[in-house]
Structure 1
């Protein structure tokens, strides 16, 4: 063959290869996903880093520089000044205290409950299986309200709580501060540990434990030598999830810590953001991201790079429950008491307080429907009517329903698509890139994440003088984008877990039969992933319906949601109105979950990647 023909052959082959790549719909979807994830995740993170090193106009004279120039002023002020202890060290120590203690107690409670539910002959399992995940549906700040209703003291809270009204003297350290915060968050986040550990336990063949029993090992030895090592990856994943969420929480800290000046990094971040100290707030957020990244790195070193639990021994073996024997009655009674005091009583207290005209007065004469359906009274609730006659509540309810359904649908669709890419690209470069990109929002504290998107989209996004994205400040679109991107790690994990269960041979057979990519995806992949789709939708729906930390900096009167309205009522000394809003919100979440569970076989464990 002549050299000219050889060159033509090579160029033609290269052209055909490029054409094959470009015209393949899967490759286009991967490319679009990487571009969008880079724009919505990497760029905001880089903008946060850049902003923390950029001198603001209001600080130019004090720092002795020019506005917009590079500076270490904010980092020096945070890390090496007279204000370091107040601004960083004390809040950091408080955050670590909360994170470590909550992780320990939440994992302990969740793992024990998971073992009892999955591996033993515990009675009333249908009841307990529902009761155990109810805390996940109730916002943590709602539990804070219930805690205050029970333990509040006149010395700090003004009106007495339920116990003080009975003549029981409650110490301030129990009503407010780290003990209250750790208790409330532990009773909230144990649901994460339960979902992850129970999924791992369900994957273990009970024959492994039975073989140990045949060899003469006791229950304690079997738990320590067989069961515990097998569920350790799931437990460590739950630790990381709980720790990162605990150090980034704001609502509970505000409710139970602000009155006693218990400050964490998240509350400092909020105060700096509201005071327009954006650079300092972003520097704090980067420190929180580093802490979360270190914890993830340690987790990966302990259990390897695998992020999901691999079934050991298959799922074809028998699952024989362990007999609780003479301890069954005692354990069942303890569980009932745990759910009564940890779940039923907080909800009952919120309901009771919502019917009280004056806070702290538990007499029958003080019961009223005013905060539900009452007309305006000048001396009550700042002259506003009850929530069902209140325009602010109706607006917030509509906004919350729109936000949850829109984000639930779009977030789940994007999660399934990204999960499809990660599943099909497992072990390949593009799969790893997408998986790492979508994991970044998990590391960013919710309140900081909201601040990043507020800063990024407050002004129009331009390229070469052309406006690509207009200013989104105060719009529903900004809430939607922020919420979808923040919840992508969970949505994509649910999608990946879902797609890995669909055999590749099904698509291959359809492709041989002449079905195109989109037809295969719509007719084969999507129907088979329906159960995981509904579970992913429920995870996003529940998370966004109760979300406060993520959107608190984005709120305007026009875009107010139910959690933010409850937060406003609580801060304006109308806890009864806040309770009413919380009860409505929980009722919506529980109703939607029940319907999804009945008609769609929703399973939150699938959403957690279990």
Structure 2
């Protein structure tokens, strides 16, 4: 009887905890959602007896220069210069907000966090509204319409791509550098000043050692985002014949060359992963500096004197050009009869107009067009579904990692959950096509289905949601769960009665930000898009590519407004006062 009782008892009563079982199940899930697609991409380049033939074609064949090496060079230039630009712009704004007495610091701090929430293709479209010239035909921008000769290098190619991406990513640098600067104790600076140290010496000896890790993190994240960005190079670079790895990858898969495209995907993953790995290695090898004392940290704000207003004007110009102007340009162009011609008259046709042969070959406005209305519903459902699935999965993974900190399963979960952060969005989409584009045993192909969009989006956002889940877990004391376990509450009961109520606010904020990330994404979904699964970001890109600029700009403006409103909601739900916006700090007089 004893032997029978032991054999039929639940496994956790025989030494296997529910946390370990959960960890094993989640490892299996992540192997399918993350590891298997990436492995399939690699195998697809050497399968079916091809050997290394595709690799030789891409790296050394006749197509190598135009297909790989030139796009790779453009990609690296974009990545490096965007990383440097974001550090300069974001670092400048962080310095103003945290360490100076510039007026309207709080306003600057709020607006400096918004550009990253604006889709990069929105900024690219807005650039075209102003600077588009006659190079590619069709409607021109405002400056050309007013009689200015806009040179090709300013309208298309590398320069506008760099400027748009710096404007999109500098918020990352601002957030990281501002947080680092806020941790510098004024006592250290005052002590150095009393000993006669010059400002330059204080900067190099005290401030920079604290800020350099944040600068490296910001630069590496901006580099990884820039090299994988598809929207800006496609919209602004392709008309000038400038290709990057992401645009070549999209072209290869769109023209029936999947194996060559998968080679580019592996190269793109390797480039992004190598930079992030190198950045982490550099930061891990640096000495740590203690900057918080038992007296409580405080900032010292330096008086700018007569420079207060010039610096404020420069900050205001940066924020206006990167936040207000893109939205204004998109809204205005969607209301004009001809894009870029503000004197052609205004119309609401591109928003609510019925079919009229005089406008856009008879296409109705986006809010009356069945195709765009279907895309609006599909996109909102897609983003909401990804937010729910990703947050639930992220919370479960965070729970398992926190309970299995010293177990190999916990370490494996942590590595698998972080892996998508190393994979550019367009490469991740290619991986899902490679795995789920054909039937797997009894399971049908998922390409072109809503299910594929959701699982790809959920897997792609896992690094973010797992971190959000871990932050939420830290709010709940372990004693609460231990007490509930001692009273006989099972895992589902503990989850519903303890964790969800106590972390609901943080989880909801994280879910809203995940919703925004998917809503404004183009790189991930551009390869997964089909007529059966229309997504607003791809629809806007296709409208613009086909010359219907007002429709594309109207859709993009709609996405931008929803994204910004959702971001502000998430910030309100989080209810956190940013440390650099705390006015209860010492200021220089």
Same-fold call, TM cutoff 0.5: yes
Question: Which of 307, 322, 330 is residue 350 of structure 1 equivalent to?
Answer: 330
Alpha-carbon deviation of 1:502?
A: 4.1
How big is each residue's C-alpha offset from its partner over 1:84-132, in whole Å with a ceiling of 9 and x where there is no partner? 1111110100000001000110122122222332343333233223211
RMSD: 2.9
Alpha-carbon deviation of 1:324?
A: 3.0
Q: For the residues of structure 1 that align with 2:38 and 2:387, how far apart are their CA atoms?
A: 24
Q: Indicate whether 1:27 and 2:1 are aligned.
A: no
Structure 2 partner of 1:59: none
Q: For the residues of structure 1 that align with 2:105 and 2:218, how far apart are their CA atoms?
A: 23
Where structure 1 has 5 or more consecutive residues not aligned to the other structure, the ranges are 1-7, 55-67, 606-610
Summarize the Cα distance change of 1:115–1:20 in structure 2 as closer, same or farther, 3 Å threshold.
Answer: farther
Summarize the Cα distance change of 1:292–1:311 in structure 2 as closer, same or farther, 3 Å threshold.
Answer: farther
Summarize the Cα distance change of 1:475–1:15 in structure 2 as closer, same or farther, 3 Å threshold.
Answer: closer
Q: Indicate whether 1:185 and 2:147 are aligned.
A: no
Question: Which of 542, 556, 570 is residue 568 of structure 1 equivalent to?
Answer: 542
Question: Where in structure 2 are the equivalents of 1:89-238 lying within 5 Å?
Answer: 89-238=69-218
Question: Which of 245, 249, 266 is residue 269 of structure 1 equivalent to?
Answer: 249
Judge conservation of contact 2:20–2:400 (CA < 8 Å) in 1.
no
Alpha-carbon deviation of 1:267?
A: 0.6
Structure 2 partner of 1:52: 45
Q: Helix, strand or coil: the match of 1:548?
A: coil
How big is each residue's C-alpha offset from its partner over 1:268-325, in whole Å with a ceiling of 9 and x where there is no partner? 100000012111111111111111222122112201189xx99853797132341233
Q: Indicate whether 1:380 and 2:373 are aligned.
A: no
Question: Which of 506, 511, 516 is residue 532 of structure 1 equivalent to?
Answer: 506
Structure 1 partner of 2:586: none
Q: Helix, strand or coil: the match of 1:388?
A: coil
How big is each residue's C-alpha offset from its partner over 1:12-57, in whole Å with a ceiling of 9 and x where there is no partner? 9999997547652211111111111111111111111100112xxx
Judge conservation of contact 2:184–2:299 (CA < 8 Å) in 1.
no
Alpha-carbon deviation of 1:193?
A: 1.7
Structure 2 partner of 1:64: none
Q: Indicate whether 1:441 and 2:392 are aligned.
A: no
Q: For the residues of structure 1 that align with 2:552 and 2:477, how far apart are their CA atoms?
A: 49
Alpha-carbon deviation of 1:354?
A: 0.7
Alpha-carbon deviation of 1:135?
A: 0.9
TM-score normalised by length of structure 1:
0.88
Judge conservation of contact 1:100–1:243 (CA < 8 Å) in 2.
yes
Give the stretch that moved more between structures: 194-203 or 402-411: 194-203
Question: Where in structure 2 are the equivalents of 1:457-472 lying within 5 Å?
Answer: 457-462=436-441, 467=442, 469-472=443-446
TM-score normalised by length of structure 2:
0.91
Q: For the residues of structure 1 that align with 2:420 and 2:335, how far apart are their CA atoms?
A: 40
How big is each residue's C-alpha offset from its partner over 1:455-488, in whole Å with a ceiling of 9 and x where there is no partner? 32223332xxxx2x43222211110000010111
Judge conservation of contact 1:257–1:263 (CA < 8 Å) in 2.
yes
Q: For the residues of structure 2 that align with 1:424 and 1:305, how far apart are their CA atoms?
A: 28
How big is each residue's C-alpha offset from its partner over 1:504-551, in whole Å with a ceiling of 9 and x where there is no partner? 344334444554434333333334433432332132111100111101
Q: Indicate whether 1:414 and 2:425 are aligned.
A: no
Q: For the residues of structure 2 that align with 1:311 and 1:26, how far apart are their CA atoms?
A: 36
Q: For the residues of structure 1 that align with 2:410 and 2:290, how far apart are their CA atoms?
A: 22
Judge conservation of contact 1:422–1:432 (CA < 8 Å) in 2.
yes
Give the stretch that moved more between structures: 98-107 or 510-519: 510-519
Judge conservation of contact 1:355–1:368 (CA < 8 Å) in 2.
yes
Question: Which of 315, 319, 335 is residue 298 of structure 2 equivalent to?
Answer: 319
Aligned length: 576
Q: For the residues of structure 2 that align with 1:186 and 1:519, how far apart are their CA atoms?
A: 47
Q: For the residues of structure 1 that align with 2:547 and 2:328, how far apart are their CA atoms?
A: 20
Question: Where in structure 2 are the equivalents of 1:583-594 lying within 5 Å?
Answer: 583-594=557-568
Q: For the residues of structure 2 that align with 1:312 and 1:426, how far apart are their CA atoms?
A: 28
Q: For the residues of structure 2 that align with 1:603 and 1:548, how far apart are their CA atoms?
A: 31
Q: For the residues of structure 2 that align with 1:577 and 1:259, how far apart are their CA atoms?
A: 20
Structure 2 partner of 1:423: 402
Alpha-carbon deviation of 1:181?
A: 0.4
Structure 2 partner of 1:359: 339
Judge conservation of contact 2:34–2:419 (CA < 8 Å) in 1.
yes
Structure 2 partner of 1:391: 370
Q: For the residues of structure 2 that align with 1:315 and 1:137, how far apart are their CA atoms?
A: 37
Alpha-carbon deviation of 1:503?
A: 3.9
Give the stretch that moved more between structures: 336-345 or 559-568: 336-345
